[in-house]
Structure 1
Amino acid sequence: MTGALRAILLMLALSPVAPVSAADIRNEVADFADLPRWPHDDHAAALSVFLETCPDMAGADWQSLCALAQTDPAPRTFFELFFRPVLITDGTPALFTGYFEPELFGALRPDARYRHPVYRLPPEARNSSVWLSRREIVTGDVMQGRGLEIAWVDDPVELFFLQIQGSGRIRLPDGRVIRVGYAGSNGHSYRSIGVELVRRGIYKAHQVSAQVIKNWVRRNPVAGRELLLHNPSYVFFRRIDEVPPERGPLGAMNRSVTPGRTVAVDPAHVPLGAPVWIETEGHDPMHRLMVAQDTGSAIRGPQRADIFFGAGDAAGRRAGRLRDRGRMLVLMPIQRAYAMLTDPFE
């Protein structure tokens, strides 16, 4: 899961953002003593996650550290001896949000309960830059009788949000779980229904969340269905059978992501696979060593990150509540860290 669509609902700010140039980037090397609660984290858990993806990292220094990590070192000592935390900033305040893997209830055959199809990508959509709109796909018969259904689910609202997340799990009546991932789209630009609710004056921007939108659509079934059709973008899926259901979905490094330890970043500033120290403020502060293993279309800038919370409704609620400030430091191999230092006279 690349998270290409999952964070768009969080982009509710209506004012333009000034572009950031390379000259705005500042790199500062910190000490582990500067990281509050560093000694109290579970460094072994972070090292285990680092090992999942470090073999795929480029660079002799990364590969050497990855090989060393496989020799079962003392986790905290490993990070403190061979890395230095680097604070990368561009003048934009840090923002941490959360994402999760939705779990829907569905079946491999339609019936009175399971009526809403999860579609594969049709050939004509694959071969066209812009295909039919959501309204045309949902209300028309272009998809009928073609065997493009992966499964049928019981809730059209959850299906809509599955498309925003870009991947998820479908729990079948017999308890089995299948996983689906992003296969393509109809090429239309995403139109936020959260922004539309704000435009209509139904909610203020700070009130809008995924759960608020779901509740409004369910309370207003006719207007709610029309609201979903306001977004012309439509996402198609593929089955992902190579990842066991008990594992997390695939991240941008094509490896399973880990709840509470995987973070999505902007790879223009943070190397994929690098350990990152997260400090969030807010109602439930977090100080934790994670690993940058995913990306997202709304994740832009050196202090922007999306934390993976796991699968299902509980994870979704936790992810939906997170919108905190704080800071993120990237743990870089020592020589690389000092080579990144910004000249204080620049």
Structure 2
Amino acid sequence: MRVYLSYSTSKLAIVSILFFFLFAGCVSKDIHPDAVKGLFQVDETHLNSILSRLNSPNGEKQSWVDLEAGIKENIKYLSKKQGDEVAVKYGNMEITWGMLARTNEELLEILPELDVYPDLLKDKFVWFALSPRTLLTGYYEPYLEASLTPDPAYPYPLYSVPTDLKALDLGKFHYRWKGEQLIYKIEDGAVVPYDDRKAIDFEGTLKNKGFEVAWAKSLVDVFVLQIQGSGRLLLADGSVKHILYAGKNGQKYVSLGKILIKRGLMPKEGMSMQGIRKFLKDNPDLVEELLTTNPSYVFFRLDDSGPYGAMNAPLTSMASVAVDSKVLPLGSMALLTTKLPQEGVESKKTFTKMVMAQDRGGAIKGTRVDLFCGSGAEAEFLAGHLKSWSHIYLPISREALNQYFQKKSDECKK
């Protein structure tokens, strides 16, 4: 018989633990979770309310078994990290890779029992609310009509990473640049930024150099694919090929939606990918000018399976999310509460579900989270219209926190 630590018997331990999370060093100061960024413990009443939504009639029915494969991928990824190393420090809270690994392992262990014993989520984990609240957006796998060989009907190339593209790990030069890269090429003996969208798509700097992996019917489809990061090629013989993210040119990402709003070409209300597509279709003379406002460019590779996230693990529809890993480390589990748009109706539906931080995105900064919506028409609608203020709750293994507390306590005594 498995014995679990009860929620009530560990309150004193939690209070002690929070002393180290909420206050820098060993000195206390007043902090309010609504005033500063950070992760703040969820009280028991609020936690009960949140967890009750997981299987409520108005919520998103949680299939715990569906998370098993994704959690195992998290564990595989986290097993390659140093357990004592800090994965992220957000606000005044440190999260180690070991905490994340232990959390995933314990969640995997109790998955089969959660339908019968949901209180295990309280017994096994301490829950923290991410502050400030989350802006939730969505992404999906678009379909493109394409060819794997040159064809006049498919004039727009999709490129692999060019051989002259170089990447420099800036973290080797200064700790403040850890995780940052410089993308460049050598031109006339000098280091210069890599070609931008205008140079590649409209000046042909990569054309006929052997980097093409496929050709698409629509340049706008190529642009959308680059924003989403991966997709599926619909070939003339009826077969489907996955086209996956392989790299980028290092140029700044600029949102076309924001450009359209700023120039007064489209209203902010109701802005969506579908609306952008329609505007570009109705205004072909503006396509080049508008697309080149985003100099960022993505390169691809072909595969028979996918899509894969930044952990090089398969993404799970409506459960994998892209995050800013400086806030939520890859491999984190989180409870997401939000409301999702519904096609054909103005009201939104409640969505409460455990999600997995398994991807990154060029536009995903701070507490913003991008939900992977899958593929197909429903996924396209949801990803194109999803923009909701949401809340993220992070579970951390109670046992791992106790160990962390003990270590910090020993350090403060020295």
Q: Report the TM-score, using the length of structure 1 for normalisation.
A: 0.79
Q: Closer, same or farther in 2 for the Cα pair 1:298/1:149, shift >3 Å?
A: closer
In the alignment, does 2:128 pair up with 1:113?
no
Q: 1:74-125 CA distances to partner (integer Å, 9 max, x unpaired)?
A: 24448526632523333x2332111112221111123232121111222233
Task: Mark the runs of 5 or more structure 1 residues left unpaired by the alignment.
Answer: 1-19, 342-346
Q: 1:207-258 CA distances to partner (integer Å, 9 max, x unpaired)?
A: 432211111111111122332233333222222x3xx43xx41112211010
Amino-acid identity (%) = 32
- Higher mean alpha-carbon deviation, 31-40 vs 154-163, is at 31-40
Residue pair 1:217, 1:225 contacting (<8 A) in 2 also: no
In the alignment, does 2:217 pair up with 1:159?
no
Task: Kindly report which structure 2 residues correspond to 1:83-232, keeping only aligned pairs within 5 A, or say none.
Answer: 83-84=124-125, 86-90=127-131, 92-126=132-166, 128=185, 129-232=192-295
Number of equivalences: 314
Provide the C-alpha distance between the structure 1 equivalents of 2:378 and 2:322, rounded to a whole number of angstroms: 20
Q: Closer, same or farther in 2 for the Cα pair 1:339/1:118, shift >3 Å?
A: same
Letter in 2 for 1:37: R
Aligned to 2:332: 274
Letter in 2 for 1:66: E
In the alignment, does 2:383 pair up with 1:319?
yes
Residue pair 2:65, 2:111 contacting (<8 A) in 1 also: no
Letter in 2 for 1:212: G
Provide the C-alpha distance between the structure 2 equivalents of 1:222 and 1:187, rounded to a whole number of angstroms: 28
Task: Kindly report which structure 2 residues correspond to 1:51-66, keeping only aligned pairs within 5 A, or say none.
Answer: 51-58=72-79, 59=83, 62-63=101-102, 66=105
Alpha-carbon distance, 1:320 to partner: 1.6
Letter in 2 for 1:80: L
Provide the C-alpha distance between the structure 1 equivalents of 2:49 and 2:349, rounded to a whole number of angstroms: 21
Alpha-carbon distance, 1:23 to partner: 6.2
Residue pair 1:125, 1:185 contacting (<8 A) in 2 also: no
Letter in 2 for 1:107: S
Q: Closer, same or farther in 2 for the Cα pair 1:99/1:26, shift >3 Å?
A: same
Residue pair 1:82, 1:333 contacting (<8 A) in 2 also: no
Alpha-carbon distance, 1:286 to partner: 0.2
Letter in 1 for 2:71: F
Q: RCO (CA 8 Å, sep 6+): is it higher in 1 or 2?
A: 1
SS of 2:279 mapped into structure 1: helix
Aligned to 1:3: none
Selected match of 1:255 from 313, 317, 336: 313
Alpha-carbon distance, 1:156 to partner: 0.9
Q: Closer, same or farther in 2 for the Cα pair 1:67/1:174, shift >3 Å?
A: farther
Residue pair 1:55, 1:66 contacting (<8 A) in 2 also: no
Q: Closer, same or farther in 2 for the Cα pair 1:23/1:207, shift >3 Å?
A: closer
Aligned to 2:40: 27
Aligned to 1:37: 53
Selected match of 1:294 from 342, 346, 359: 359
Residue pair 2:140, 2:374 contacting (<8 A) in 1 also: yes
Provide the C-alpha distance between the structure 2 equivalents of 1:326 and 1:251, rounded to a whole number of angstroms: 22
SS of 1:284 mapped into structure 2: strand
Letter in 1 for 2:376: G
Residue pair 2:103, 2:397 contacting (<8 A) in 1 also: no
SS of 2:324 mapped into structure 1: coil
Residue pair 2:102, 2:397 contacting (<8 A) in 1 also: no
Q: Report the TM-score, using the length of structure 2 for normalisation.
A: 0.67
Residue pair 1:102, 1:167 contacting (<8 A) in 2 also: yes
CA RMSD of aligned residues (A): 3.0
Task: Mark the runs of 5 or more structure 2 residues left unpaired by the alignment.
Answer: 1-32, 57-61, 84-97, 167-183, 186-191, 341-347, 406-414
Provide the C-alpha distance between the structure 2 equivalents of 1:65 and 1:172, rounded to a whole number of angstroms: 39
Q: Closer, same or farther in 2 for the Cα pair 1:262/1:201, shift >3 Å?
A: same
Q: Closer, same or farther in 2 for the Cα pair 1:44/1:121, shift >3 Å?
A: closer
Selected match of 1:69 from 103, 108, 126: 108
SS of 2:223 mapped into structure 1: helix
Provide the C-alpha distance between the structure 2 equivalents of 1:260 and 1:321, rounded to a whole number of angstroms: 15
Residue pair 2:160, 2:211 contacting (<8 A) in 1 also: yes
Residue pair 1:103, 1:313 contacting (<8 A) in 2 also: no
Structure (1 or 2) with the greater strand fraction:
2
SS of 2:138 mapped into structure 1: strand
